[in-house]
Amino acid sequence: MNLKYDVVVVGAGPAGSSTARFAAMGGASVLMIEKRQEIGSPVRCGEGIARHFLDDVGIPFDRKWVAQEVKGAKIISPAGNVLQIDERHAGNEVGIVLERDAFDKALAKLAAKAGAEIWVKTTAIGLLKDNGRVTGVRVKRLDEELNIEAGCVVAADGFESQVGRWAGVKTLMKAGDITGTLQYRLTNIDPDPDFPHYCEFFLGTCAPAGYIWVFPKDEITANVGLGISLDRLKDKMDLKRYLDAFVKKDPRMKRAQFLDMVTGGVSTCPPVKETVRDGIALVGDAARHIDPITGGGIGNGCVAGMILGKVLADIKKRGGTYSKEDLQPYERGWREEFEETLYRNWMAKNKLVSLSDEDFDKIIATLATAGIGKLSVHAMLKVIKERHPDLVERFADMI
């Protein structure tokens, strides 16, 4: 068996599969490993993504992984003020509600078609290093333990990333930059004129320093979940108490029943300082490519994966060594693409978490009457500044 590859990708989520696909497409020999027995399962996601990402990274549209297409987003304040935004302008998580398990498999298929080798039920248990340089990965595949040499190891192992930590990359977060999440997939939801046509976001103390989402999956089913910042969680099971209280209050969910329960951690931190070292690159959640305001990461993960895959293929073509210098185009590439947005949104998040329910009511009412066309932090702050200068003082440095 050939146990030497140009690229070994750890983790077969959207970021890993995109990396594997574009690296293999460009001629690199690629192995992607997944610790679970099934790619895409269990789902750990709210499953919302904006349409444009599919074009951006060349994913052919397929009904198989689309649960519901929505017209837009509704942002709802504690008092019930609603800001409705068209899908095209509603940010990176609104447009399509996915079947994530099928979506992840579709991306893995694209990687396989491009020539990547894929192993499941294979866990990375350590990194191989030589003189500080990562030279490969030790894996357990069923009952075998193997050393696999790699020009470059790609850490696409998600929020709980070990590979990055093993390589010495600082991905540690403060409590205020970690969000605990819990989601119920509820069915038998009662009809409502706008359900299932909008992705809903509920702000305020229903989810302190976070929000509650209702993403429709079909006419009677939705992902109902919430994220709360770790520094606001006081006791065990706080997340469940908040989500249960919300479900109990929503009249549509009186007779709702469970299909699924999803849990997870989400990073809401500023972009990491370094995502490449000699022989290793971090991508997706492992590189904290998640939007600190929305907690969305599928799109960014795919885009970063594409950039990394192309860079890896390019290094292969010119006979490079996958050193830190060789990998710089990836570091620069993803930063050019979305570092500023991540940083700006992290700054905005830190201020948004200080707003009261009354503040949210005022802001949403203001934005709704002003007819804001685009859901961006910058656009919203501008409108608020005109109408409520008092509210926006805290954000003054960001406008």
Please list the residues that pair with 72 across neighbouring strands.
86, 198
Considering beta carbons, is residue 73 or 224 the nearer one to other proteins? 224
CB of 363 to other proteins, least distance (A): 28
Nearer to other proteins, 197 or 240 (CB): 240
3-class secondary structure, 33: strand
Residue among 237 and 396 whose Cβ is closer to other proteins: 237
Which residue, 239 or 375, is less far from other proteins as judged by CB?
A: 239
Q: What's the distance, CA 82 to chain centroid?
A: 25
> Least separation, in Å, of the C-beta of 204 and other proteins?
20
Q: Least CB distance from residue 14 to other proteins, whole Å?
A: 16
Residue 97 Cβ, how far from other proteins at the closest point, in Å? 20
- In the complex, what is the shortest distance from the CB of residue 234 to other proteins, in angstroms, rounded to a whole number? 7
Q: By the criterion CB under 8 A, which residues form the site for other proteins?
A: 35-36, 44, 123, 158-162, 165, 172-173, 175, 178, 180-182, 230, 233-240, 261-265, 267
Copy the structure tokens of residue 232. Answer: 């606001």
Nearest to 212 by CA among 77, 342, 87, 344: 77
- Please give the C-alpha separations between residue 209 and each of 98, 193, 219, 349, in angstroms, as whole numbers: 26, 29, 30, 8
CB nearer to other proteins: pick between 72 and 164: 164
Task: Give the CA distances from residue 190 to residues 133, 238, 368, in Å, rounded to whole numbers and listed in that order.
Answer: 57, 27, 26
Rounded alpha-carbon distances, angstroms, from residue 317 to 28, 85, 320? 8, 45, 8
Separation CA 219–CA 238 (nearest Å):
30
CB 156 within 8 A of CB 19: yes
Backbone φ and ψ for 371, nearest 5 degrees, come out as 65, 50
Selection from 241, 187, 188, 242 nearest residue 210 by Cα = 242
Asked if residue 191 has a cis previous peptide bond (ω within 30° of 0), the answer is no
Tell me how far apart the alpha carbons of residues 314 and 250 are, in angstroms, rounded to a whole number. Answer: 52
3-state secondary structure at position 127: strand
* Residue closer to other proteins (CB basis): 265 or 320: 265
Residues 6+ apart with CB under 8 A from 25: 114, 115, 309, 313
- Beta carbon of residue 210, minimum distance to other proteins (angstroms, whole number): 12
**C-beta of 162: minimal distance to other proteins in Å?**
8
* SS3 assignment, position 150: strand
Judged by beta carbon, residue 171 or residue 294, the one nearer other proteins is 171
How many Å apart are CA 66 and CA 210, to the nearest integer? 26
Could you give the CA distance from residue 136 to residue 127 in angstroms, rounded to a whole number?
Answer: 6
Q: By C-beta, is 109 or 165 nearer to other proteins?
A: 165
Beta bridge partners of 122: 141
Strands 144-155 and 280-282: parallel
Q: Residue 165 or residue 197: which is nearer to other proteins going by CB? A: 165
Min separation Cβ 128 and other proteins, Å: 19
When the beta carbons of 92 and 122 are compared against other proteins, the nearer one is: 122
Residue 237: CB minimum distance to other proteins, A: 4
Pairwise CA distance, residues 127 & 166, whole Å: 7
Closest distance between other proteins and the C-beta of residue 208, in Å? 13
Residues 45, 290: Cα–Cα separation, whole Å: 12
Least CB distance to other proteins at residue 283 (A): 15
Which C-beta is closer to other proteins: that of 174 or that of 318? 174
